[in-house]
Amino acid sequence: MNETFPSPASRREPDLNGQQLGDYQLLRRLGSGAMAEVYLARQVSLDRNVAFKVLKSSLTRDEKCVRRFQQEARAAASLVHGNIVQIYEVGCLRDCHYLVQEYVAGGTVRQWLAGSSGCSAGKAVAVVRQVAAALECASQHGVIHRDIKPENILLTKNGEAKVADFGLARLAIGEQMVDLKLTQQGLTLGTPLYMSPEQIQGGQVDPRSDLYSLGVTAYEILAGTTPFAGETALNVAVQHLHEEAARLETLRADLPRSLCDIVHKLLGKKPDERYESATELIYDLHGLGLEDSDSQWHFAENATDYRALDNARLDATQKLDALMKVESTDRPNRRMVSVVGWGLICGTILGTASAYLRMPRSILEVSYADHPRVEKKKSARLQYLHALLEPSQPSWEAVAHYFGGERQTESRQYVSKANAELAHILFDQGRALEALSLYRQLADLGEDLIEQRALGLAGMANIHQARGNRNELSVTLVRLTADLEKLGGRAQGVIRVLDSPLRERMSRVQNEQRLQAGRRRSQNPRRGGKLRRKSSRFPPRRDGD
């Protein structure tokens, strides 16, 4: 006999606005889901806003519903990541089962799409990349979301994406998949518009199912509509199983083909046709160079030692000032004041020197051992992907530290890419000379790594432009122009690295080169689309001659 959930409409939910539940003052109702009412609340002890999720009273009598509600909290609480809504507490007060989680000021992707006239490729990539990072964290903890959709992706006002609602999660314990859906027999939980084919069929799912749902979400963000639609859930499900989505580039001609290919790869009918992991997806998205905003984590410069310099000067200055006052009222002690004053000046110099010696050394002088150790991966590619997921100076340095001595082209490629990211971080921190040194190393690479060489030249150009080095800038741009011409379609990724004035300048140069190339082609005599051969008294060679 099949068990059924009580109808949510069978009992009206009480209004908890203004209620005090333990440490939480409920301020106003934010919304309602299939299982819970959500309130904005104030946590009194910590004086912070939180989202207070209350299991619907119509469901509290069902033991399975309560258990699933609690398991949702446990599944999500194990995931600590900047792109996942954090769970603070789960409990029960006055027969009210609740879950307290991070409050995200902003709205859902659904609300964002509804309020915008269209989404740029850069903004779409930024959202998809962040969700992919959240899914990678979840998969590493054996958690599958199973319900990725615009309503479950929250956006802050500065564009930070956070995945919410792991209520349909499955926990992987070893190789055994333990179902936490607790659904009734024959009922598949999830949203049909975004469900993967294997999920629709009730089969075993893995993290690639979430990637399919993310692909549907990405498609909708870019196209303004889901790839499949219908009047009934069954109709939509059949399309997910058997129909191919219309190509994105036919709906939006302004989208890069490479971005469209990524989205359609996510929509593969079979899991093996999709990305193997969210990490691989992040790598391809990063390679597009399309994000509207900087995706790097930036850290403030270490100001501790600089303050040591200032403190030494301030302390000595205050003492000298006091001594000068003493001197003005006690002339007979002038010699003693002079001796003490010079002693303090010497002390200031020694304090300054001490602080200087304790200042951070140049990035080129600091050994990798000076930083927190980053675990070594099996290859330069995996080390680079790890740095993409957890971008920091030590993560990027680890790529060169572990694999800088390898001569294979692939390893050298990823080491060079990591060095480019490291140089960008240094430049953003104001450490231009150290960044310039790394950019020069990249600029000296050979033809087999021409894209990384061009990135190095672009970085050098930015620094020369910022420092007003006109001669060096001109020489660098000449070299960069030659490399961009060789890169062809890949040149745009390099041009985006340039600061705005240089970007416009190089775009004009490229347009002029295309015009010149077109004029040269039009001046060459053609016949049937092919260049005429010069007359020859010898017949052309044939295969086998």
Residue 126's contacts (CB-CB under 8 Å, 6 or more residues apart) are 159, 161, 291, 292, 293, 295
> pLDDT tens digit string along 200-253?
888 888 999 999 999 999 999 999 999 998 878 788 888 999 999 999 999 999
pLDDT of residue 6: 40
106-288 in CATH: which number? Answer: 1.10.510.10
- Alpha-carbon span 261 to 127, nearest angstrom: 17
Q: Which residues pair with 173 in a beta bridge?
A: 176
At 102, give phi and psi (nearest 5°). -60, 135
Which string of DSSP letters, residue by residue, matches 317-345?
HHHHHHHHHHHHH-GGGHHHHHHHHHHHH
Residue 453's contacts (CB-CB under 8 Å, 6 or more residues apart) are 442, 443, 444, 445, 446, 483
Burial of 404 from C-beta contacts in 10 A (0-12 / 13-18 / 19+): middle
Burial of 150 from C-beta contacts in 10 A (0-12 / 13-18 / 19+): buried
Q: What's the angle, vertex CA 154, arms to CA 119 and CA 296, rounded to 5? A: 75
User: Is 330 tagged catalytic?
Assistant: no
Q: What is the three-class DSSP state of 477?
A: helix
Q: Which residues pair with 178 in a beta bridge?
A: 171
Q: What is the pLDDT along the chain (545 residues), one digit of tens a residue?
A: 333 334 434 456 778 888 899 999 999 988 877 678 899 999 999 999 999 998 887 778 778 778 877 877 777 788 888 899 999 998 898 888 899 999 998 889 998 888 777 788 999 999 999 999 999 999 988 888 988 999 999 998 888 999 998 755 444 333 334 443 333 333 344 567 899 999 888 888 899 999 999 999 999 999 999 999 887 878 888 899 999 999 999 999 999 999 999 999 999 999 999 999 999 999 999 888 887 644 432 222 333 333 333 343 334 434 334 443 444 444 444 444 444 455 545 554 555 444 444 444 443 334 444 445 788 888 888 888 888 877 788 888 889 889 988 888 888 989 988 998 888 888 888 888 888 888 998 998 888 898 889 999 999 999 988 888 888 888 888 888 888 888 877 787 788 788 878 888 877 776 776 677 667 677 765 544 444 444 444 444 445 44
Q: Which of 15, 147, 483, 543 is catalytic?
A: 147
pLDDT of residue 190: 52
Instruction: Give, in words, the CATH class of 8-102.
Output: alpha beta
In this prediction the pTM is 0.57
CA distances from 209 to 110, 126, 200, 498 (A): 21, 21, 10, 38
- Alpha-carbon span 365 to 308, nearest angstrom: 22
CA distances from 61 to 5, 54, 95, 474 (A): 10, 14, 10, 75
Task: Give the count of beta carbons closer than 10 Å to the beta carbon of residue 380.
Answer: 24
pLDDT of residue 406: 85
Q: 509 and 482 in contact (C-beta within 8 Å)? A: no
